[in-house]
Amino acid sequence: METRILRINDIDKDCGALLEAAKLIQAGELVAFPTETVYGLGANALNSGAVRKIFEAKGRPGDNPLIVHISKLQDVDRLVRELPLIATVLMERFWPGPLTLILKKSSVVPDIVTAGLDTVAIRMPRHPVALKFIEYSGVPIAAPSANRSGHTSPTTAQHVLDDLDGRIPLILDGGKCEVGLESTVLDLTADVPTILRPGGVTYEMLTQLLGEVEIDSGALKPLEGRLAKSPGMKYVHYAPRAQVVVVRGQIDEMIKKINELTQEYMEQGVTVGILATCETKDHYKEGKVLVLGSRTQPAIMASNLFSALRQFDDMGVNIVLAEWIEPKDEGLAIMNRMLRAAAFRVVDAESSTVGGGFRG
């Protein structure tokens, strides 16, 4: 299969490309498209056969649910059995945007979309190309990230091509994704609204609007046998080809430990990458250093995370030593992705032990 890329510079002038993509969706095919978070791999959410192609193209386990993307608020009505007032409040405040809501699904949503669960995850993306593409398609679009399962999520069309060339017919190129991390997933079927996957709509934003909000323990720890109600919970995700290790501690101690580990690995002939911040980058004299951004601007760091991990792949790095980021605001989403990319390998700066899981 040839994979074509169509660049969308203007959604009005390039409407022909969007219509072509919509026709593929209507024919039961796959299209990769940009959102403000990451690139998605879309299929008609109401067509089980089309959705099955997503799992085949990605190599994605069937017990990992998908998010359904819509272009209008009224599109929610036929996808859910009931729409609680709290959902309406959240939709009015954060849609279109990087917030996914988990609600009780209606019978029109195929089980393959929800991994057999009685709930469905829905969001309205903010990217103009995504909104127009969904509108032209005339159906809700089921879409996980447009990458091979478990690999680093794509934030450019080239990233999609790198992973899925020959596996899908079309990529809509809408430029680099703004947010750079997948959406926040909020479970509204729990007794208290619960964040299953942190993202660009932060815990702090949600508590300001709703009051009480919980964070699922799986956000920063392995799921440990529970059913995954959200994408990004159950498996090792977001990983580059290199092994990732997160180093945790006070900044001075982290720097010292990363420098020690870098020296040890380099003496063994291992190529080391260091995921640093503006505040620490000048303290690393060895290894290949990439800078996420300033610790005072977690949203910018979040937007750069996946691109940096893919850059390490391009550099031929064998191991990435990543600094711990304080898990508040967008920092929670950064650590959620980073820990999964590392398969929860954590080194405490004051010790030499690599942990098999997060020790909170």
DSSP 239: B
Confidence bin at 233 (pLDDT 50/70/90)? low
Alpha helices for the chain (secondary structure H) = 15-26, 48-58, 85-94, 111-114, 128-137, 157-164, 203-210, 251-267, 298-315, 330-341
pLDDT digits (tens, 9 = 90+) for 74-116: 999 999 999 999 999 999 999 999 999 999 999 999 999 999 9
Tell me the pLDDT tens digit for each residue of 240-283: 889 999 999 999 999 999 999 999 999 999 999 999 999 999 99
Which CATH code fits 4-180?
A: 3.90.870.10
Find the mean pLDDT for residues 225-232: 62
User: CB under 8 Å to 225, separation ≥6 — which residues?
Assistant: none
Closest CA to 100 of 205, 187, 228: 187
Report pLDDT digits (tens) over 299-314: 999 999 999 999 999 9
Q: What is the pTM of this model?
A: 0.92
pLDDT category of residue 232 using cuts at 50, 70 and 90 = low
Q: Which residues pair with 194 in a beta bridge?
A: 187, 214
Rounded Cα distance, 230 and 67, in Å: 8
The residues pairing with 215 across neighbouring beta strands, listed in sequence order, are 195
CA dist., res. 293 & res. 275, Å (int): 10
Of the pLDDT bands very low, low, confident and very high (cuts 50, 70, 90), residue 64 is: confident
Provide the residue ranges of all domains of the chain, joining segments of one domain with +.
4-180, 243-355
Instruction: Supply the DSSP symbol for 165.
Output: T
Supply the CATH classification number for the domain 243-355: 3.40.50.11030
Does 358 have pLDDT greater than 50?
A: no
Which of the pair, 68 or 220, is modelled with greater confidence?
Answer: 68
